[in-house]
């Protein structure tokens, strides 16, 4: 078992009021090594709060998050940046690339922060670049790239650290359909190679590329679907039906 989320709760209290908002309530699930899981829910359902806790960007009110035997909710603030660097990969909808650096240096950035040698950084990049189709982009700057190319670079930057889990927050939101499909196919390919992926998405089409979908409503996981032997189109239909009936349409 790679990741265990046990009875997770997150409450928010407004500064000048006693009113409490329960963003997460008794969230409980497990993630095996090599799984590809999509997390879906309406706006305000708690899915982003959950991702932020898994990313160690926020702490729960109650519960534990166990990654390879370590409760990441107990890591000291001073050690969190190093923990993220060594264990977690992040893919965001807005890419977060630095226009002042070329593509190669953008990808190298987390390894520079981790004090890796240039030889090791270059070796890892030479392995990744062909898989992601970015070999001819390395000397360009982010502003010279299309949205789809930028997202591939962002994925390379997240994978070059060899993370235990890749956390993706609406990774297709800024992409057109063709680039979205290319990205999701890429996720499927790196998942087949053993990379564990957790992806928050509002898109049934995006979620249909995963092996399992968790649905969150009012801070609780109330339903899940497994792909099984279904193809993406069949799984997409199941996900869309689930979203319509269980979330009242989306």
Q: 79-108: per-residue pLDDT in tens?
A: 999 999 999 999 988 888 999 999 999 999
Tell me which fold the domain 3-97+164-247 belongs to. Rossmann fold (3.40.50)
pLDDT tens for each residue of 70-86: 999 999 999 999 999 99
Burial code (b: 16+ CB inside 10 Å, e: under 16) for 187-208 equals beebbeeebbbbbbbbbbbbbb
Q: What is the pLDDT of residue 13?
A: 84
- Asked if the model's pLDDT at residue 228 lies above 50, the reply is yes
pLDDT for the residue numbered 248: 64
The model's pTM is 0.93
For the chain, give the percent of residues with pLDDT over 70.
Answer: 98
Query: For residue 247, what pLDDT band results from cuts at 50, 70 and 90?
Result: low
Residues 207 and 223: their CA atoms lie apart, in Å, by: 14
Please state which of the ranges 26-35, 172-181, 214-223, 239-248 shows the lowest mean pLDDT: 239-248
Handedness of CA 137, 140, 142, 144 (dihedral sign): negative
Domain ranges for the chain, please list them.
3-97+164-247
Q: Is the pLDDT of residue 249 over 50?
A: no
């Amino acid at each position: 078992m790679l990741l265990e989320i046990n009875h997770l709760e997150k409450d928010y209290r407004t500064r000048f009021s006693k009113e409490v908002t329960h963003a997460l309530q008794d969230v409980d699930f497990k993630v095996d090594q090599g799984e590809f899981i999509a997390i879906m829910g309406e706006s305000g359902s708690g899915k982003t709060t959950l991702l932020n806790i898994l990313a160690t960007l926020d702490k729960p009110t109650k519960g534990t998050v166990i990654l390879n035997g370590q409760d990441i909710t107990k890591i000291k603030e001073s050690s969190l940046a190093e923990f993220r660097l060594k264990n977690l990969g992040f893919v965001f909808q807005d890419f977060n690339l630095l226009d002042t650096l070329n593509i190669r240096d953008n990808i190298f950035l987390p390894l520079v922060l981790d004090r890796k040698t240039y030889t090791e950084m270059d070796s890892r990049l030479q392995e990744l670049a062909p898989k992601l189709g970015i070999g001819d982009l390395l000397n360009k700057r982010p502003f010279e790239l299309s949205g789809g190319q930028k997202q591939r670079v962002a994925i390379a930057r997240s994978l070059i650290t060899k993370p235990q889990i890749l956390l993706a927050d609406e990774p297709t939101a800024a992409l057109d359909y063709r680039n979205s499909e290319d990205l999701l196919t890429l996720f499927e390919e790196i998942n087949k190679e053993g990379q564990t992926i957790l992806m928050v998405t509002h898109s049934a089409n995006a979620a249909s590329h995963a092996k399992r979908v968790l649905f969150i409503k009012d801070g609780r996981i109330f339903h899940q679907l497994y792909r099984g032997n279904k193809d993406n189109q069949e799984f997409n239909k199941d996900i869309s039906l689930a979203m319509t009936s269980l979330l009242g349409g989306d």
